[in-house]
Amino acid sequence: MSGSKLPIISSERADLLVRQDKELVWHPFTQMREWMQQEPIILVSGQGCWLTDSKGRCYLDGNSSIWTNVHGHNHPRLNDAVRQQLERIAHTSFLGFTNPPAIELASKLVQLLPRHTLRKVFFSDNGSTAVEAAIKMTIQFFQQNGQPEKTGFIAFENAYHGDTLGASSLSGISTFHERFKNHHFSVTRVGSMQQLDSLNPCRIGGLIIEPMIQGAAGMRVWPQGMLKGLREWCDTYNVLLIFDEVMTAFGRTGKMFALEGEGIIPDLLALAKGLTGGYMPLAATLTTDRVFEAFLGSYKELRTFFYGHSYAGNQLGCAVSIANLDVFEEEETLLNLQPKISFFTDRLKDLAQQRFVREIRRCGFIAGIEIGDTDGSPFDWQRQMGSKVCHAARKHGILTRSIRDVIVLMLPLCVQKDEIALGISAISQAIDETCGT
């Protein structure tokens, strides 16, 4: 389904918008000088896995709109959920009040996990704040559990947990985070599970990992058994295990949650991005009764978790998240995904033969295609080859973004096999054209 070929907005209006964008808007993770010199794509509509721009050109949504979209754009069930909620109310405060969609969503999320495990749901509005909440819960938990010295965190090299100062303290990608290091809290950084053995865990409160696969590191897959090992280590030293599933949850790894890959339950679980099916900014930090109960007491004991955001429990976001989860059942999304993953895997094997492809890393329906020179060496990062390939891929009908020289391919779960083939072929052609010149 490639949508309408007709211009969606007039060329005069598109020109005006581009001028105003360049004059007024500052885009995230974007060198704005380069942006000013390019012709931006103005996305105006979408249908299923396809996006349409102001000129009526259609593109496959190759990175699920920065890893958020799940069942496709303009999905009737999700649209209806938003509309119906909108007829009632869009947003009310979650501080001191509650609302039906937030309660129902909490109940649905908890039921997706094994009974009596993660039973408390704390809402916020993006992946960074879901992690931020987990950080503060961990610190306060130990303060209120007689071990206030347990303020330290362990995080992995090249991890990415978000951009707010707390979340970026945990992140280990130097390009993004190095310049802020004097403002970060200190974190014990490890490259592998083996390194944990040489650490003194006395002052460590939390250990955070992107389970199964690190995303922004360039789609790096962890060895099997890692999560089990981490769970054991955390149990031995009374450290809270935090899974950041902001990228991996909601089907991306082939299961609802990446934690199912090894059947390991963390003490804290951060969810965002796909929670709303890619419709709205909403996040949740789930935790156990044990953590939650450490925060109970009379007001004057000051055990309250003094943390929250204005849009916590947003009614529109929660309503569409419920519909997102319902669609998983109604469309048997995970069942139908399995043959697509096999097909995806086979096609990627073909792509791996391409002379400029150094390595393809895949976990479930997530892939990172690393490009480099024909002798197997990496490209000089300053050449921005990954970004150039993504640019070239546009004219072959796919939009995605690279992480340095790793092209991300993370299609919405509703994609069909012919669309997967089209997407991979578009990337292959773009690699050939860009790297071969």
**Contact residues for ligand PLP (CB under 6 A)?**
126-128, 131, 160-162, 210, 215-216, 244, 246-247, 272
> Nearest approach, Cβ of 19 to ligand PLP (angstroms)?
28
Query: Which of 59/160 has CB closer to ligand PLP?
Result: 160
Query: Which of 161/388 has CB closer to ligand PLP?
Result: 161
Query: Which of 126/387 has CB closer to ligand PLP?
Result: 126
Q: Are strands 406-409 and 366-371 parallel, antiparallel or unpaired?
A: antiparallel
The conformation of residue 202, written as its DSSP 8-state character, comes to: G
Q: What's phi and psi for 187, nearest 5 deg?
A: -130, 140
Angle at the Cα of 84 from the Cα atoms of 256 and 61, rounded to 5 degrees: 45
For residue 29, with 0-12 CB atoms within 10 Å meaning exposed, 13-18 middle and 19 or more buried, which class applies? exposed
Angstrom distance (rounded) from CA 240 to CA 296: 18
Query: Which of 173/415 has CB closer to ligand PLP?
Result: 173
Angstrom distance (rounded) from CA 389 to CA 371: 9
Tokens of 151: 């303020």
Q: Where do runs of H (alpha helix) occur along 71-206?
A: 76-88, 100-112, 127-143, 165-170, 174-177
> Nearest approach, Cβ of 161 to ligand PLP (angstroms)?
5
> Nearest approach, Cβ of 160 to ligand PLP (angstroms)?
5
Neighbours of 146 (CB within 10 A): 8
> Nearest approach, Cβ of 218 to ligand PLP (angstroms)?
12
Query: Which of 244/405 has CB closer to ligand PLP?
Result: 244
> Nearest approach, Cβ of 254 to ligand PLP (angstroms)?
17
- Residue nearest to ligand PLP as judged by C-beta position: 127
Query: Which of 137/430 has CB closer to ligand PLP?
Result: 137
> Nearest approach, Cβ of 246 to ligand PLP (angstroms)?
3
Angstrom distance (rounded) from CA 277 to CA 335: 17
In terms of residues, how long is the chain?
437
> Nearest approach, Cβ of 153 to ligand PLP (angstroms)?
14
Tokens of 289: 């009764």
| Beta-carbon contacts of residue 382 (< 8 Å; ≥ 6 apart) | none
> Nearest approach, Cβ of 66 to ligand PLP (angstroms)?
7
Query: Which of 63/434 has CB closer to ligand PLP?
Result: 63
Asked whether 147 and 238 are in contact (CB, 8 A), the reply is yes
Indicate the residue type of 174. S
Query: Which of 52/171 has CB closer to ligand PLP?
Result: 171
Angstrom distance (rounded) from CA 327 to CA 347: 27
Query: Which of 215/386 has CB closer to ligand PLP?
Result: 215
> Nearest approach, Cβ of 287 to ligand PLP (angstroms)?
17
For residue 195, with 0-12 CB atoms within 10 Å meaning exposed, 13-18 middle and 19 or more buried, which class applies? middle
